[in-house]
Amino acid sequence: MENPHAERQNVLLQRIIKNADKCTETILELNHCLEEIVRANAHVQVAADLVTKYRKNVQYNLDATRERKDSQEN
């Protein structure tokens, strides 16, 4: 006669394994989708970097212009 407790545990373990496999598949699919998004956004990242550098340069030049103006006024 089989142990009903062991049989019940086996059924539960099989369900856990099945659910874990589904979860793993879903996570792999999500990772794949995220990689596609990252690749698609590569141009956006380059543009954002360029805009950031441009903004820093503009700010530097504005500050330098203000300093020259202030020094000329004094």
List pLDDT tens digits, range 5-28: 999 999 999 999 999 999 999 999
Q: 65 is written with which tokens? A: 């212009």
Residue 2 pLDDT grade (very low, low, confident, very high; cuts 50, 70, 90): confident
Residue 58: name the closest of 70, 69, 46, 50 by CA.
50
- Taking the model in full, what pTM does it have? 0.57
Residue 74 pLDDT grade (very low, low, confident, very high; cuts 50, 70, 90): low
Tens of pLDDT, residues 27-67 = 999 999 999 999 999 999 999 999 999 999 999 999 999 98
